[in-house]
Structure 1
Amino acid sequence: MSHARARQAIEIKLMAWATARPIRVANFEQEFSALPGETYLQAYQLPGATTCRYLGGEAYEYTGVYQVSIVCPAGQPLETAEALVDELSSLFRVDSVLSRNGFEGLVTEPIDQGPTIPESATYTVPASFTYRGVADQPPAGA
């Protein structure tokens, strides 16, 4: 399943960037509790259609959207989240290579900031980009 390899390629890049900042990324595979006053990220892959444009079906093309939600404590200036969107835009520039275990892809659209979502104790600023890539298919029965 190459959507998994696309996600891994994106998450490796995102985690390396976040660790260098440092900013934590909430991972649904692990328990996460935000610290008081902490700004953190939540990331999601929204897989798109899988197509095959090649004779013999040797390779499939995978597309999707990857969203990084920036969660800030209420009362923090919006500029904090907007600065992170700018940094993510530099990290995931159009034509940035995404490669992982036979998946070869690219970021195909620039980061797009969504509307701010206010809640009682936090607000969230979503930012997303599209990707597209190709992966060889394993032989039948593998």
Structure 2
Amino acid sequence: MKTIIRAAFEKTLADWAAAQTPKIPVAYENVAFTPPATGPYLRCFLLPADTADNTMAGQLSEYRGLFQVNVVCPAGTGPTAAEALTAAITALYPAKSRLSFGGQAVMIATPMRERPALQDVNAFVIPMDCKYCLVV
């Protein structure tokens, strides 16, 4: 099920990023990626939690976890561009909506939450995440 959950989130993000002007590069887990020399990019991660089965008969599996997107902008450019991207990504994944893929519907259980920004010599990063749930 992780493959379906990941694909549902990543396809939504990829389609949105490709439609931006200019396009926003997206880095995926364990896929070769060269960050752009200038301009923003996104890094996404699927962080699964324990799978649950809360039925007496053991007939339903509940897959939960976090989908994380790191918004990465060049250091020294201020927070405005990163904050605009976080607002757009928050709108892309509204709480209680569903992402369909492979005949399954992944529910976004919480709104995207911005975490404290991270600053280093080369980049300004705002991590954000939402909780998801898929019951099959």
Identify whether the pair has TM-score above 0.5, normalized to the shorter chain.
yes
Gaps of at least 5 residues in structure 2 are none
CA-CA distance at 1:125 after TM superposition: 0.7
**Residues of 2 paired with 1:85 and 1:129: CA distance?**
12
Q: Deviations over 1:96-137 (max 9, x none)?
A: 1122224322111111101111111111110111111112xx
Moved more, 101-110 or 122-131: 101-110
Matched, 1:9 2:18: no
**Residues of 1 paired with 2:36 and 2:25: CA distance?**
10
**Residues of 1 paired with 2:11 and 2:56: CA distance?**
32
- 1:101 maps to 102
CA-CA distance at 1:55 after TM superposition: 4.4
**Residues of 1 paired with 2:33 and 2:11: CA distance?**
19
**Residues of 1 paired with 2:108 and 2:73: CA distance?**
26
Task: Provide TM-score, normalisation by structure 2.
Answer: 0.91
Between Structure 1 and Structure 2, which shows a larger proportion of strand residues?
1
Q: Which amino acid aligns with 2:2?
A: H
Would the alpha carbon gap of residues 99 and 53 (structure 1) be closer, same or farther in structure 2, given more than 3 Å must change? farther
**Residues of 2 paired with 1:77 and 1:28: CA distance?**
27
The number of residue pairs the alignment matches comes to 134
Following TM superposition, where does structure 1 have runs of at least 4 consecutive aligned residues deviating by more than 3 angstroms? Answer: none
**Residues of 2 paired with 1:47 and 1:120: CA distance?**
31
Q: Which amino acid aligns with 2:75?
A: A
Report the secondary structure of 1:80's partner residue.
helix
**Residues of 1 paired with 2:60 and 2:18: CA distance?**
34
Q: Deviations over 1:5-53 (max 9, x none)?
A: 1111111111111111110101233321122112100001110121112
Report the secondary structure of 2:85's partner residue.
helix
Kindly indicate whether the alpha-carbon contact (under 8 Å) linking 2:8 and 2:106 is maintained by their aligned counterparts in 1: no
Give matches, 1:21-100, under 5 Å: 21=20, 22-100=23-101
Q: Which amino acid aligns with 1:4?
A: T
Gaps of at least 5 residues in structure 1 are 136-142
Report the secondary structure of 1:90's partner residue.
helix
Q: Which amino acid aligns with 2:73?
A: C
Task: Provide TM-score, normalisation by structure 1.
Answer: 0.87
Report the secondary structure of 2:124's partner residue.
strand
Percent identity, aligned pairs only, is: 31
Between structure 1 and structure 2, the one with the greater Rg is 1
Q: Which amino acid aligns with 2:15?
A: A
Alpha carbon RMSD of aligned pairs, Å? 1.4
